Amino acid sequence: MAHMKPLDLAQIQDDELLGMLTHYEKTRGFIPNSVKTMSRRPNIAKRFAALNQAILYEGTVAEELKMLISLVSSVAAGCRYCQSHMANLASIYKASDAKIAAVWEFETSELFSDAERTALRLALHAGYLPNEASQKDFDELGKYFDEGQIVEIVASIALFGYLNRWNDTMATQLEEYPASVAERAISSKGWEAGKHQ
Q: pLDDT (tens digit, 9 = 90+) per residue, 68-79? A: 999 999 999 999
Quick check: 164 pLDDT over 60? yes
Query: Worst-scoring range by mean pLDDT, 32-41, 56-65, 85-94, 135-144?
Result: 85-94
Quick check: 6 pLDDT over 90? yes
Q: Categorize the per-residue pLDDT at 191 as very low, low, confident or very high, splitting at 50, 70 and 90.
A: very low
Q: What is the Cα gyration radius of the chain?
A: 16
* Centroid of chain to Cα 109: 21
Domains defined for the chain, CATH in brackets: 63-196 (1.20.1290.10)
pLDDT at 181: 80
Please give the C-alpha separations between residue 130 and each of 22, 97, 125, 165, 167, in angstroms, as whole numbers.
34, 28, 7, 14, 19
d(CA 57, CA 54): 6
pLDDT at 104: 87
d(CA 172, CA 96): 27
Q: Where are the alpha helices (DSSP H) in the chain?
A: 15-28, 33-38, 42-56, 63-77, 80-92, 97-101, 114-128, 135-141, 147-170, 176-186
Backbone region of residue 78 per phi and psi (left: phi > 0; alpha: psi in -120 to 50; beta: other values): left
pLDDT at 106: 95
* Phi, psi values for residue 187, rounded to 5°: -65, -25
For 106-129, what is each residue's pLDDT tens digit? Answer: 999 999 999 999 999 999 999 998
Q: Categorize the per-residue pLDDT at 194 as very low, low, confident or very high, splitting at 50, 70 and 90.
A: low
d(CA 57, CA 86): 14
Write the DSSP assignment of 50-107 as a string of letters.
Answer: HHHHHHHSSSSS-HHHHHHHHHHHHHHHT-HHHHHHHHHHHHHTT--HHHHHGGGGTT
Higher pLDDT, 91 or 162: 162
Closest to 194 (Cα-Cα) out of 83, 90, 105: 83
d(CA 162, CA 140): 25
